[in-house]
Amino acid sequence: MASHLFPFGFGLSYTTFRYDHLLVKPASVGVHDDILVSVDVTNAGEREGDEVAQIYLGHDVSSVETPGRSLAGFSRIKTQAAANKNCDLSNIATSAYGLEHHSKVGRRTWNLHALVGGSSKASLTTKFVLTQ
């Protein structure tokens, strides 16, 4: 069995980035409601750099079989050395596709975990509730 060297979404850079202040509002949203998702991304290195901020969604329980963590959105940002930018990740996909190939959320309520970072190993997390 082959193992991978880098996690999904990982990119090589000449600098490092730090993620802080993840915000998801409101704390409870409907499937068709607007969601505000933002995070502060800081270029912690000494060189200008590009980063692709990624948001992954996970859930506690679902009646639709889905991965434990799935990519829901991303945004590319460019920052100067030691600079901080607020990144908007609001255009995220919150539904799952069933066997009938149409979008559905499954249960009436999902307790979702929003995980944000530079790859699928994202660790900055917060919770929100998605209702039908």
Q: For residues 117 and 53, what is the distance between their CA atoms, to the nearest angstrom? A: 6
For residue 124, tell me if it sits in a domain: yes
Cβ pair 89, 116 in contact under 8 A: yes
| Strand ranges in 14-102 using DSSP code E only, listed in sequence order | 17-25, 28-30, 36-43, 49-59, 70-79, 84-88, 96-97
Range(s) of the domain holding residue 101? 17-131
Assign residue 50 the CATH number of its domain. 2.60.40.10
Give the chain's domain count. Answer: 1
For residue 12, tell me if it sits in a domain: no
For residue 7, tell me if it sits in a domain: no
Cβ pair 31, 2 in contact under 8 A: no
For residue 2, tell me if it sits in a domain: no
> In the beta sheet, which residues pair with residue 111?
129
For residue 112, tell me if it sits in a domain: yes
| pLDDT single digits (tens) 24-66 | 999 998 877 888 899 999 999 999 999 999 999 887 765 666 6
pTM of the model: 0.84
Tokens of 17: 């980035």
